[in-house]
Amino acid sequence: MNNFINSIGLNKKPSDTTVVVAMSGGVDSSTVAGIMRKDGYKVIGITLKLYDDGKEASNSKQCCSGQDIMDAKRVAHKLDIEHKILYYQNKFKQGVIDNFVESYLKGQTPIPCVQCNQTVKFRDLFEVSKELKADAMITGHYVKSITQNNSTNMYRAIDENRDQSYFLFNTTREQLNYLRFPLGGMLKKTTRDIAKKLELNVAEKPDSQDICFVPSGDYASVIQKFKPDSFKKGNIKNLKGEVLGVHDGIINFTIGQRRGIKVSGKEALYVIKIDSEKNEIIVGPKKKLGKTKIHLRDINLLCNKNEFDKKIFVKVRSTGKLLDAKVNLKNTNDAEVNLNIPENGISPGQACVFYNKDQFGHKVLGGGWIKEQN
């Protein structure tokens, strides 16, 4: 019996192991493809065309643009690996863009990167990888995955400034057991150094910063494109219900926002609540932003419930820190999170991700979507 375990935890020689690498055209996924090729795996690179970028194709701050597709193709040629381009514009619009627009119209703050991972990247690309009879699917996400007893758990990356576990909380157990994340144990500098050694043309390419279909971060322009009648004027009120002014559309605001309110008070005013049904913005002082109780919907668990008997941490925004909390799991569509210390700017539409800590680091237990708070 062959007891050889390869670098991705499978009982096969790399030369007998086929992997699909999701290649976005950036330095991270390109380096992963290079590592797999160098280690002797049979590599199939797949790049997704997700939207029609037009004149924004050369914007280096966006991911998945036309330029990125060309970069991925060049990297695949350099590495001498098979490369496929899948045209998923319709899937992406239905699964990501439409949800983004509708969420903003409801006064929420959506996270399209989570929706993208949940749908076209991990659901649809997962199915394609299986059809290609690949043994595993590899991505350039900065998360750690550790496999024990034929089960894989996800952890925060060693480089916490790059950690992307927040965006992957909706990964299913089946997907997680099939996915591999080679960069989770590396610093970004190490990734670029490897890309240079492999002589990849993207070694110095800047990281994507903007949401791929939102040029220059202008959310309103995207919503206006798909819902041109959504800019409706409404009242700006204080917490007492008094009208302070008029806004030009709730899509211009998010919870915790200060700029652009255009009304003044004795102290600085922040968006405390967005009432989409009444088309109203509720503003108040910063101290009213703090919340200790969060209600969640659509819970995804990657662990047994007894894991929540241990000390729990949560993250309520992608750039936020880990917060001490207690989690009460009522059912798959209802959970209550109680924070030890009030947190500002908690917004419906964002995710709340659960973690605990063991000998390998901060393990992702799952998470849910933040509901409208009463």
- Superfamily of chain region 14-140+181-217: HUPs (3.40.50.620)
Low-confidence residues of the chain, pLDDT below 50?
1, 55-60
* SS (HEC) of the chain: CCCCCCCCCCCCCHHHCEEEEECCCCHHHHHHHHHHHHCCCEEEEEEEECCCCHHHHHCCCECCCHHHHHHHHHHHHHHCCEEEEEECHHHHHHHHHHHHHHHHHCCCCCCHHHHHHHHHHHHHHHHHHHHCCCCEEECCCCEEEEEECCEEEEEECCCCCCCCHHHHCCCCHHHHHHEECHHHHCCHHHHHHHHHHCCCCCCCCCCCCECCCCHHHCHHHHHHHHCCCCCCCEEEEECCCCEEEEECCHHHCCCCCCCCCCCCCCCCCEEEEEECCCCEEEEECHHHCCEEEEEEEEEEECCCHHHHHCCEEEECCCCCCCEEEEEEEEECCEEEEEEEEEECCCCCCCEEEEEEEECCEEEEEEEEEECCCC
> Which pLDDT value is given to residue 94?
87
> Which pLDDT value is given to residue 359?
93
**What is 291-370's CATH topology?**
Elongation Factor Tu (Ef-tu); domain 3 (2.40.30)
**What is 231-288's CATH topology?**
SH3 type barrels. (2.30.30)
Catalytic choice (63, 64, 113, 116): 116
116 noted as active-site residue: yes
Mean residue pLDDT across the chain? 90
Catalytic choice (113, 212, 303, 352): 212
> Which pLDDT value is given to residue 63?
60
> Which pLDDT value is given to residue 24?
92
> Which pLDDT value is given to residue 222?
81
> Which pLDDT value is given to residue 281?
95
Q: Where are the domains of the chain?
A: 14-140+181-217, 231-288, 291-370
